[in-house]
Amino acid sequence: MKITIAGAGAMGSRFGLMLHNAGHEVVLVDGWKDHVEAIQKEGLKANFNGEEVIVKLPALLQSEVTETATSDLIILFTKAMQLEKMLNDLKPVIHEKTKVLCLLNGIGHEEVIEKFVPKENIFIGNTMWTAGMEGPGRVKLFGSGTVALKNLVDTEEAKKGALEIVEVLNSAGLNANYSENILYAIYKKACVNGSMNGLCTILLSNMYEFGSTTDAHMIVENIVKEFAEVAKFENIEINVSEIVEYIESNCYNCKTIGLHYPSMYQDLNKNNRLTEIDYINGAVVRKGEKYGIPTPYCAFLTALVHCKEQILGAK
Ligand code: NAD
Ligand code: AOT
């Protein structure tokens, strides 16, 4: 299948590399000039589960995309604040039949994608794979993960499209599943990011260190409660104690994922970049205002992260 990876940072590079290795025709599209040029000159370099690999892949600057780069499937992997610009730059390659899959963290991205893509071609989901950017043209890819996805509109044709995407991802070992209850899955992951990412960023900790504190349980429970309250208004039922237990049993393992510094920590504290807080906790605050629900924990955390972005002069 011809696949465009739109946003070829850490995660886009992972998916691009694995899909290319499985024989698909992959093109990387990205807005970071040094990164694109490094891939064009020397290939995409990756530490792939401890092995150094170099993969020769076509890479294009998003501002230089033309109709010739048309593909069957576009996988969106920008940061949330880069999504609209990417879709705008991709206009020449978004056709009547182009399927567009969104795997970004955060909630509500379909509202942006709908401005550029017919609803029946939009597929939403999330992923438990991880990846890290080491510099232009270079990524670190460790461990394993899963993908859950579904068609945005409920037609037989759209479901068939979703199942085809699942098959393509699985041909590359990406462990994809069709998820009937995808909005629940997206909210569940947003609860993980909504409680781990901002807090670890402010506290300069990894997930294990934060989880070892005496107040971690209380804070996480209050954040998840706010996500659950707004989700109710969207007919998504979140069992707070179940999700808190999921976060505690999955994120705090001191030998594995607990040692992970969330992507937000890396964006702000390591790379002086703006964060996705407005699309995670900030999105809950906006929904809370709309539905008349107080969201003090999410609001405070969002404000703290914004303060830190400003103090550090993040871009
Ligand atoms: P990323 O920051 O690595 O890449 C996103 C974009 O930012 C790319 O266009 C990339 O080229 C650009 N970029 C990266 N570093 C840059 C730098 N130093 N200067 C200029 N531009 C730079 O993002 P990601 O981690 O691949 O995440 C993509 C989406 O997937 C996000 O919504 C994220 O929350 C989600 N996600 C990430 C992970 C993870 O482990 N990284 C896991 C699950 C979901
Ligand atoms: C994560 N981390 O999504 C991934 O860092 O943004 C991130 C992120 C899978 C499981 C737990 C945390």
**Alpha-carbon distances of 277 from 63, 132, 198, rounded to whole Å:** 26, 19, 7
Residue nearest to atom 9 of ligand 2 (CA): 128
Q: What is the pLDDT at residue 2?
A: 97
pLDDT digits (tens, 9 = 90+) for 218-274: 999 999 999 999 999 999 999 999 999 999 999 998 888 888 899 999 999 999 999
- Residue 257 CA, ligand 2 centroid: distance in Å: 9
Supply the DSSP symbol for 261: P
Picking from 277, 299, 296, 293, the residue whose alpha carbon sits closest to that of residue 230 is: 293
Tens digit of pLDDT at every position of the chain (315 positions):
999 999 999 999 999 999 999 999 999 999 999 999 999 999 999 999 999 999 999 999 999 999 888 899 999 999 999 999 999 999 999 999 999 999 999 999 999 999 999 999 999 999 999 899 999 999 999 989 999 999 999 999 999 999 999 999 999 999 999 999 999 999 999 999 999 999 999 999 999 999 999 999 999 999 999 999 999 999 999 999 999 999 999 999 888 888 889 999 999 999 999 999 999 999 999 999 999 999 999 999 999 999 999 999 999
Q: In the chain, where does DSSP find H-type helix?
A: 10-21, 33-42, 83-89, 110-113, 156-171, 182-203, 207-211, 216-232, 240-251, 263-265, 281-291, 296-311
Q: Which amino acid is at 216?
A: A
- Please list the residues that pair with 291 across neighbouring strands: none
Residue minimizing CA distance to atom 42 of ligand 1: 130
Structure tokens at 236: 């998504």
State which of 4, 11, 107, 315 you would mutate to test the pocket of ligand 1, scoring each by most atoms of that ligand within 8 A of its C-beta.
11
* β-bridge partners, 55: 44
Q: What is the pLDDT of residue 293?
A: 97
Q: Tell which residue, 180, 142, 173, 186, has the closest CA to residue 159.
A: 180
Q: For residue 1, how far is its CA from the centre of ligand 1 (angstroms)?
A: 24
Paired tokens of 85? 């610009």
Contact assessment for residue 3 and residue 75, using Cβ atoms and an 8 Å cutoff:
yes
C-alpha distances (whole Å) from 30 to each of 22, 68, 82 are 22, 16, 10
Cα separation, 16 vs 174, in Å, equals 11
| CB-based pocket (< 6 A), ligand 1 | 7, 9-12, 30-32, 35, 77-80, 82, 104-105, 127, 130-131, 133, 263, 271, 276
Q: Which atom number of ligand 2 is nearest to the Cα of residue 196?
A: 12
Let me know the angle formed at the C-alpha of 77 by 108 and 231, rounded to the nearest 5 degrees: 20
Which residue's C-alpha comes closest to atom 34 of ligand 1? 105
Ligand 2 atom 8, closest CA = 262
Count the Cβ atoms, other than its own, within 10 Å of residue 213.
13
What letters, b where the CB count within 10 A reaches 16 and e where it falls short, cover 265-304?
Answer: bbbbbeeebbbbbbbbbbbbbbbbeeeeeebebbbebbeb
Residue 143: what pLDDT? Answer: 87
Atom of ligand 1 nearest to the CA of 106: 32
Strand bridging mode 51-55 / 73-76: unpaired
Answer yes or no: are the C-beta atoms of 46 and 53 closer than 8 Å.
yes
Best of 77, 105, 193 to mutate for ligand 2, by most ligand atoms within 8 A of CB? 193
What spacing in Å lies between the alpha carbon of 73 and ligand 2's midpoint? 24
Site to probe by mutation for ligand 2, drawn from 260, 264, 265 as the one with most ligand atoms within 8 Å of Cβ, is: 260
What is the predicted pLDDT for the residue at 309?
A: 98
Closest ligand 1 atom number to CA of residue 80: 32
Residues with catalytic function: 189
185-205 per-position pLDDT tens digit: 999 999 999 999 999 999 999
User: Which residue puts its alpha carbon closest to atom 14 of ligand 1?
Assistant: 9
> What is the per-residue pLDDT for 256?
81
Total-model pTM? 0.96
Q: What is the pLDDT of residue 69?
A: 82
